[in-house]
Structure 1
Amino acid sequence: MKKDRINIHFTVIENGIKIPISTRHGRYPNLMFLLKDELMLESFGECGGVGRCATCVVKTKEIRGNSAIKDRNEPATLSKLGFHETNIRLSCQIYITADLNGAEIEILEI
């Protein structure tokens, strides 16, 4: 099966409401763009996905593989806001891969 045809299913929690999401690998460059598009979030991801503004902070559960690793600007940006937990992430730094299958993503208000 081709990588881009793999269906990925996970749950997003926004304001206490669970929303099932289904997508495919490669449909969005990262989780931030998917959330903005699917949930029409305003003032979310203002820096465009470079990991500096922290307007796309999420709490993750059940993310596996490489998607669970913080990389690039993410650790420094989160640290400036006082977030040191491994499950607090910038959605712009999470790629849409099978690592998200079955995950739960909660959008945090900052």
Structure 2
Amino acid sequence: MEKKLKTITFTVIENGIQTPIATRRGSYPNLMYLLKEELQLESFGECGGVGRCATCVVKTSGITGNSTLKERNEPATLSKLGFEEANIRLSCQIYITADLNDAEISILEV
């Protein structure tokens, strides 16, 4: 029997414009790659997803589960920029999972 993949849907806000996104788990390595490709963002995610450059900073609302946890280089990188809020994240450190369903992701200018 073939396993049906569930659609993951959320909203992205860039420069005040809301864009609904529908994707599936595993379609992208992480949220940064999805945002970069779907929204054609230039100068976004310049370090390639290792959590060092902070060119993929987003503000999240409605993310659940393990996707709320900051790991690896993320806390130190955000702290250097003065971001201490739990909902400010590096999109390269957020995986595409059901934790993103119904979330709102705002792209921040850094």
Q: Please indicate the TM-score interval, normalised by the length of the shorter structure.
A: over 0.9
Describe how 1:51-66 pairs up with structure 2 within 5 A: 51-66=51-66
* Cα distance, 1:16 vs structure 2: 0.4
Q: Does 1:71 align with 2:67?
A: no
Partner of 1:97 in structure 2? 97
1:46 aligns with 2:74: no
The corresponding residue for 2:5 is 5
SS of 1:44's equivalent?
coil
Q: 2:35 matched to which residue of 1?
A: 35
Point out where structure 1 has 5 or more consecutive residues left out of the alignment: none
2:109 corresponds to 1:106: no
- Name the SS for the 1:12 alignment partner: strand
Q: Deviations over 1:33-87 (max 9, x none)?
A: 0000000000000000000000000000000000010000000000000000000
In structure 1, distance between residues paired with 2:68 and 2:11: 16
CA RMSD of aligned residues (A): 1.1
Aligned letter for 2:47? C
Give me the whole-angstrom Cα distance separating, in 2, the residues matched to 1:109 and 1:17: 14
- Stretches of structure 2 that go unaligned for 5 or more consecutive residues are none
Count residues in correspondence.
109
TM-score, structure 2 as length reference? 0.97
Runs of 4+ aligned residues of structure 1 deviating over 2 Å after TM superposition are none
Tell me how far apart the structure 2 counterparts of residues 58 and 34 of structure 1 sit (CA, whole Å).
Answer: 13
Distance 2:16 2:94 in 1: 22
Q: Which amino acid in 2 is paired with 1:103?
A: A
Q: Which amino acid aligns with 2:34?
A: L
In the TM superposition, residue 6 of structure 1 has moved relative to its aligned partner by 1.6
